[in-house]
Amino acid sequence: MSLGDQIAKNLPYLRRYARALTGSQATGDAFVRATLEAALADEQLKSSLEGGRVPLYRAFNKVWASAYLDVSDDGESGSHEGAAQNRLKSITPLNRQALLLTTLEDFSVEQAGEIMELEAEEVERLVQEAVGEIDRESSTSVLIIEDEPLISMQLEDLVTSLGHEVCGTAATRTQAQEVVAEKTPGLVLADIQLADGSSGLDAVDDILAIDSVPVIFITAYPERLLTGDRPEPTYLVTKPFQEQTVRAAISQALFFGSSRPLG
């Protein structure tokens, strides 16, 4: 594959990242163009781009870091991506970059460190700072759909420790419907197999028919969601879970404002 073909393949993802990072498609595209122009003017930089996504993003980072500026959004505040942009404005630039690289762009911490020219430990620290900033800005109401009382209580404690309120708990699809009839949650944590044999998937579908809210599935049966028969969930935590994993999933789900991937 030629260098031009490699860059063309990765360009849509770089544009998405640039838009999320700067808060504006026009500004993001300007930085992308500046990166490509810099590569055309520098043979060494140009040849380095043959290494794939990491060197391309690293080249972009150098351009962005040398001329970073905050910009207002470009009329997309009502869109799914606009919801993420509004949250991004509350995160400091370096933290914002570390979070986006390791979530939106799905780079490993080591790859993000190579892009940002930082040690992996520093990237991890920046991501945690970003998560903390999001937690402070993203308080919401949470519905917990879980039929095991001890796990439900554990999740309640975790959710409240992050500054959110629990609008209700449900052990069956019917109970979930009753909670949502009173108040639409801002986030749903859902098991798949419920107490009366009903499905957490159906309970979630009921909720999403009313409003688009982020959903995190927490289940001992992840294979039931990874069949290819329906869209796979963005946020899936396997039991037994680590609280830090659930915390990170909550922060990311609230950051993007939806259970659908950004893009």
Instruction: Give the per-residue pLDDT at 74.
Output: 46
In the structure encoding, which two tokens stand for residue 168, read together?
Answer: 């209700």
> pLDDT of 231-256, one tens digit each?
555 678 888 888 877 887 787 778 66
Instruction: Give the per-residue pLDDT at 90.
Output: 46
Half-sphere exposure of 154 (CA within 13 A, CB side): 15
In the structure encoding, which two tokens stand for residue 49, read together?
Answer: 């781009």
In the structure encoding, which two tokens stand for residue 22, read together?
Answer: 């700067």
Distance, in Å, from the CA atom of 15 to the CA atom of 120, rounded to the nearest integer, reads 24
In the structure encoding, which two tokens stand for residue 37, read together?
Answer: 């122009």
Half-sphere exposure of 68 (CA within 13 A, CB side): 14
Torsion on CA atoms 217, 222, 232, 236, rounded to nearest 10: 40
E strands of 112-177, at which residues? 141-145, 165-170
Distance, in Å, from the CA atom of 110 to the CA atom of 70, rounded to the nearest integer, reads 27
Least confident of 32-41, 59-68, 211-220: 59-68
Q: Which residues pair with 169 in a beta bridge?
A: 144
Instruction: Give the per-residue pLDDT at 136.
Output: 67
E strands of 59-164, at which residues? 141-145
